[in-house]
Amino acid sequence: MANEIMTASGIVEELDDLAFMRRRFKDAEEAETLDRVAAMEAIEFYFGHQWSDEIERQRRADGRPCFTLNKLPSIVRQVLNEELQNPPSIEIAPEGDGANDDTAEAQQGLAKHVELHSQAELAYSNAFTYMVLGGFASWRVCHDYIPRSFDQELYIKPIWNPFSVYWDPSALEPDKSDARFCFIALDLSADDFHQQYPDSELAGLKSFEGFGDRAPGWVSRDGCRVVEYYWIETEEGAIVRLTDGRVVFDDEIPDGARIALDDDGEPIRRKETRRVAYCAHSNGVEWIRKKEKLPTDEIPVVTVLGERLYIDGRFRVKGLVADLVEAQRMFNYNSSAIAETMALGAKANWLATVEQIEPFMDLWAQANSRNISVLPYHNIPGVNPPNKITTEPPIQGMSAARAQSESDLRSISGVYDATAQSPTMSPESGKAILARRWQTSTGSVNWTKHLATGVKRTADILLKYFPVIYDTGRVMRITGKDQQQKQIVVHAGRPETVPAYLPDGVQSVIDLSAGRYSSTVSINKNYDSMQQETVQMMLSLVEINPALAPVLADLIVSEMNFPNKKAFVDRLQRALPPGLQDQGKPNDPNQLAASNSQLMQQNQKLMAQVQQLSQMVQMKTVEGQSRERVEAMKLRAVQISAAARTDAERVKAQAAILTRAADQHFTAVHDHALADKAHIHDVMLSSHQRAIAPPPAPDQPTQ
C-alpha cells in the first residue's frame, strides 16, 4: 500500500516508510492535544495542586491562609472501590459454524486463566483509575515463551503511563477497534537507549544533537523518543467454506481439507478484504526493530475512555475530576476564609488619635499579638480615651457556604456518603443507608461500563489469539462456569498432537479452531459477595421456616468459606434422608474406589479387544464377523462412557479415542472386504462366462 498523504495545497505526496510513520504520529499527537492537556491538569488537581500559582503566591506573600482540603480522593475512591466489588467478567457464548457450549466454557476458562496468571487486575485497576481521573487509559495483550519451554503464553499487561498511547484520529469506535494505527511512545535518555538498542545507528554516538534536524521532536541532545508502531494493512482475497463447516481464506486451506460445493456443484467462496497487523520499533530516524507480522489481524492494545462527546468536529473525552474542579476550589476558598475570619475576629481594632498612642506605638503595635495587660495612652483633654471596636464575624454564614461546597461535590459527582445524615433528621434505618449506597452505585455505574467496553475488546482479541498460541495439544487448568477447577486438553485443528492416553484428571479435549464464538461482559458482584448473599438468603429462609434447617444445612455450609468445610458438608450430607442424598455420588470412599477399579478393568478389556480387532484386520477376516465385533466394540465404548460420566471423566475421553480407533479399523476392514468381494465377483463372472460360452467347432477332416 502506497504511503500517500494530501498536503494543505491539495497535492498528493508519497512518503517513505519512516516519513509516513512520523506524519501519522504527528497527526495523532495534534488530534489528542486538548484532551491530554485537560487530563494532565485534572490529575495534578486531584493530586493536590488546586490553587493557581499566581493566587497562591499572592496570598502567601500577604500572610493569608491558603488551605487545600482535598475532598476528591474520598469521592474517587468510592468509584474505584465500586469497581473492585463489581468487577467486569468475561463470558463466551457459541455463535455458529459448529460452536458448542463445552468449547465456549473452555474459551471462557482460558480467558480467566490469562487474567489470573498475568494479574490482569493490575492492568484493569490502573486503567480504571486514570480513566476516572483524566478520561483515558490503556493496557495491552502480549505473548511470550514460558521459561524453559517451547510453549507460549498470553498475558494482559498494564500500560502505566496513559499519555504514552496515541491512536489513529480517524477511529470512531470507543474501543478503537476500527483504528488503522497505534503508537506506544517512550522517551529514553541517551544511556538507556544505548543499553536497550546497542545495534542502532544512534547507539554509537555520544550526542544525538546532529540527528535532531533529521527528525524534529524525536531526537534531542540528551535522548530520543522510541515508539512501538502498530498498523493495519488490507489486501483483497477470497474465503471458502470447507466441508467441515470452517471458513478460511483460499490460501490457508489445511492439508487434506476439501472445499464445500453449492447446489450447482460450484465451490462456496466469495471475496473478502483481509486485515494484516504489523509492528515495528523506531526512533524517528531509523527502524530499530524491523517490521514484524502479528499472529492475528488486531492491534493488541486496549484503550478505555471516560465520558465521550462529539464537539466542534472532533471527539472530546473527560474524567470525573474535570466537573469537580470548581466545587473543590470553592471548598478550599471557604475553608481558608473561615480560618482567616476567625483569626482576625480575635484581634481588636482600636479607635484612637495619633497623639494618644504615638508615645507608646511599640506596645500598641503588639496589642493583637501579645497578651498585654495595660495599654498606656497620652491623655488629651476633651478627647475620649482609645475605644475598642468589636464586630461579630459571619462564621455561621461562611460555614453554610462551605457546607454547600461540599454538597456540590457530592451532587455533581453523583457519589454520596452512605453514612452521612443531617443533624436535623431522626436516626435512619439500615434500609435507608442501603438505599443511599445503591444511589451511589447507580451514580457511578457508567464508569464501570466504560471499563467493561475495554474488557470486552480484550476478550475479542483473546478469542483470535487462542487458536494461534494454544495450537498444539496442551493440558490446561481452567475455572469452569460453576467456579470449579477443571483440566482440559486444547488444540487448534491438530488432533494428532493430543496424547492417546490422557493424563489423570483430564475431563475433555477441546478444538479451539472449530466454531465461531462471541464475547460479552457482565458487571456483577464478585464471587465472594455472591456467596455471602446466598448464605444470608438461605439463613433468612431457615429463620422463616426452621423446619428447613436439616434440609438446607449442607447447602448453607457449602456456600461458606472456612477451614475443613468439606468435612462438614460430607457429614451433613450423610445425615440427609435417603430421598435427598445424591445417588450418583456414593458417600462411602471404599465403594467409590471399587467403582473406579471396576471401570479401569473394563477399560483394559476394551483396549485388549481393540488390539484383537487390529489383528483381525491384518488377517483379512470375513467382513460379517469383523462388522459384528466392531459394532460390539463401539457399543461397549458407549456403555462405558455413559457409566463413567460422573465418576471417571477420564474414561469417557479415552472411550471416545477408542471409538475413533474402532471406526478407523472398521473402515480398513470394510475396504478389504470390498476388495475381496470384487475379486470373488470377477472370478465367478469369469467362470460363468466360460460355462455359457458355446463349445468350439470340431475340426473339419481334410479331403
- Taking only the tens place, the pLDDT of each residue in 474-495 is 999 998 887 788 999 999 988 8
Percent with pLDDT over 90 in the chain: 36
Q: What is the mean pLDDT of residues 155-171?
A: 96
Q: What is the pLDDT of residue 388?
A: 78
CA distance 672 to 680: 12
Q: What is the mean pLDDT of residues 432-445?
A: 59
- Note whether 608 and 667 are same-domain residues: yes
- Note whether 550 and 616 are same-domain residues: no
Q: What is the pLDDT of residue 635?
A: 58
- Note whether 622 and 655 are same-domain residues: yes
Q: Per the domain annotation, does 665 fall within a domain?
A: yes
Whose cell is 454520596? That residue is: 416
Q: Per the domain annotation, does 345 fall within a domain?
A: no
Q: What is the pLDDT of residue 537?
A: 79
Mean pLDDT of the residues in the chain:
80
Q: What is the mean pLDDT of residues 396-412?
A: 85
Q: How many CA atoms lie within 13 A of 411 on its CB side?
A: 7
User: Residues near 346 by Cβ (< 8 Å), separated by ≥ 6?
Assistant: 368
- Note whether 677 and 601 are same-domain residues: yes
Scanning 385-496, the segments in alpha helix (DSSP H) are 395-413, 430-469
Q: Per the domain annotation, does 670 fall within a domain?
A: yes
Kindly give the interhelix angle for 33-47 and 120-134, rounded to the nearest 10 degrees. 100
Percent with pLDDT over 70 in the chain: 72
* Mean pLDDT comparison of 33-37, 195-199, 505-509, 616-620, highest-scoring range: 33-37
- Note whether 631 and 667 are same-domain residues: yes
* Max CA distance (Å), the chain: 197
Instruction: Kindly state the cell numbers that stand for 299.
Output: 492491534
Distance of CA 46 to the CA centre of its chain: 27
Q: What is the pLDDT of residue 143?
A: 94
**Residue 683 banded pLDDT, cuts 50, 70, 90:** low
Measured distance between the N- and C-terminal CA atoms of the chain, rounded to whole angstroms? 98
Q: What is the pLDDT of residue 424?
A: 45
Domain total of the chain: 2
- Note whether 622 and 572 are same-domain residues: no
- Note whether 601 and 662 are same-domain residues: yes
- Note whether 678 and 639 are same-domain residues: yes
DSSP secondary structure string for all residues of 500-552:
SSPPTTEEEEEETTSSEEEEEEEE---HHHHHHHHHHHHHHHHHH-GGGHHHH
290 φ, ψ (degrees, to nearest 5)? -65, 165
- Note whether 574 and 614 are same-domain residues: no
Long-range pairs of 652-655 with CB within 8 A, sequence gap ≥ 24: 652/507, 653/502, 653/506, 653/507, 653/508, 653/509, 654/501, 654/502, 654/603, 655/603, 655/606
**Residue 256 banded pLDDT, cuts 50, 70, 90:** confident
CA distance 210 to 200: 15
- Note whether 594 and 680 are same-domain residues: yes
DSSP secondary structure string for all residues of 565-586:
HHHHHHHHHHTS-GGGS-TTS-
Q: What is the pLDDT of residue 553?
A: 82
Domain that holds residue 624: 589-684
- Note whether 559 and 576 are same-domain residues: yes
Least confident of 258-267, 433-442, 493-502: 433-442
Burial of 427 (0-12, 13-18, 19+ CB in 10 A): exposed
Q: What is the pLDDT of residue 423?
A: 45
- Note whether 606 and 572 are same-domain residues: no
